[in-house]
Amino acid sequence: MASYKLDTAIQSSTLYLDSSNCVSRSPFKYSLSTPITCPTAVRMLVSVIGLTIPNVINNITENNNKLSFQILTSSGTSVLIYTLTFPVGIYSAWQFRDYINGQTVAPANAVQCVYDEKSFKFSFVSTFRFQVFNNDLRPTTCGALIGAGITNTNEYDYPILYSSSPAYTVYMPSTVNFIPTPYIFLKVNSFILSNINSSGVINNTLLRIPVNANYGEVINYRPAEVNKYLVNRNSLNEIELGLFDADNNALAIGSGVELQAILKFEYINIPVAPQYDLGTIQHYFKENPIKPTADNDEEGLGDV
Please name the fold of domain 13-56+183-269: Jelly Rolls (2.60.120)
The predicted structure's pLDDT at residue 303: 56
Beta-carbon contacts of residue 229 (< 8 Å; ≥ 6 apart): 2, 45, 46, 47, 193, 206
Nearest-5° Cα angle at 15, 13 to 21: 155
Angular region, 96: left φ>0, alpha ψ -120 to 50, beta rest: alpha
Beta-carbon contacts of residue 144 (< 8 Å; ≥ 6 apart): 64, 177
**DSSP 3-state of 66:** strand
**Four-point Cα dihedral 50, 55, 59, 61, nearest 10:** -70
pLDDT 10s digit of each residue in the chain, 304 long? 457 788 888 889 999 999 999 999 888 999 999 999 988 888 999 999 999 999 999 999 999 999 999 999 888 888 899 999 999 999 999 999 999 999 999 999 999 999 999 999 999 999 999 999 999 999 999 999 999 999 999 999 999 999 887 789 999 999 999 999 999 999 998 888 878 777 777 788 999 999 989 999 999 999 888 889 988 888 999 999 999 999 889 999 988 899 999 999 999 987 676 666 777 877 777 777 777 766 655 555 555 5
The predicted structure's pLDDT at residue 295: 61
The predicted structure's pLDDT at residue 5: 81
The predicted structure's pLDDT at residue 2: 53
Give the distance, in angstroms, between the CA of residue 51 and the centroid of all CA atoms in the same chain. 17
Contact 93, 116 (CB under 8 A): no
Q: What whole-number distance in Å separates Cα of residue 95 and Cα of residue 73?
A: 31
Residue ranges of domains in the chain: 13-56+183-269, 66-171
The predicted structure's pLDDT at residue 8: 87
Q: What whole-number distance in Å separates Cα of residue 115 and Cα of residue 278?
A: 64
* Model confidence pTM above 0.85: no
In our burial notation (b when 16+ CB lie closer than 10 A, e otherwise), range 172-194 reads bebebbeebbeebbbbbebbebe
Residue 159, judged by CB atoms within 10 A of its CB (0-12, 13-18, 19+), counts as middle
Angular region, 189: left φ>0, alpha ψ -120 to 50, beta rest: alpha
